[in-house]
């Protein structure tokens, strides 16, 4: 597996993980439980989304599209 994205927080990690799974890409969230070790470990880049190497390009494309999306506000 290869790291394709570093989420800001566990909520973003879970949202993106669910998004990738909905596109039939097996995804693992790594570092979630390391958040409690801040002080012992560096306080940045602990979270990561990992996918199979074969799915990495597609996963990055899906995440990039999601990050660029603008919310739809109905008036």
CATH of the domain at 44: 3.30.70
pLDDT computed for residue 47 by the predictor: 86
Q: What does the pLDDT look like over 8-54, one tens digit per residue?
A: 888 999 999 999 999 999 999 987 666 555 555 555 667 899 999 99
Residue 73 resides in a domain: no
Q: Which of 71, 70, 61 is nearest to 19 (CA)?
A: 61
Domain that holds residue 28: 2-68
Band the pLDDT of 55: cuts 50, 70, 90.
very high
Residue 74 resides in a domain: no
DSSP string, 10-64: HHHHHHHHHHHHHTT--EEEESGGGGGGBTTB-SSS--EEEE-GGGHHHHHHHHH
Band the pLDDT of 70: cuts 50, 70, 90.
confident
CA distance 9 to 26: 20
**Kindly report the CA angle at 9 between 8 and 11, in degrees rounded to 5?**
125
Residue 11 resides in a domain: yes
Split into its structural domains, the chain has a count of: 1
């Amino acid at each position: 597996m290869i790291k394709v994205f570093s989420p800001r927080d566990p909520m973003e990690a879970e949202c993106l993980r669910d998004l990738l799974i909905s596109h039939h890409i097996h995804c693992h969230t790594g570092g979630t439980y390391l958040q409690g070790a801040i002080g012992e470990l560096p306080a940045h880049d602990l979270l990561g989304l990992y996918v199979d190497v074969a799915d990495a390009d597609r996963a990055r494309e899906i995440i990039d599209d999601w990050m660029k999306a603008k919310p739809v506000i109905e008036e």
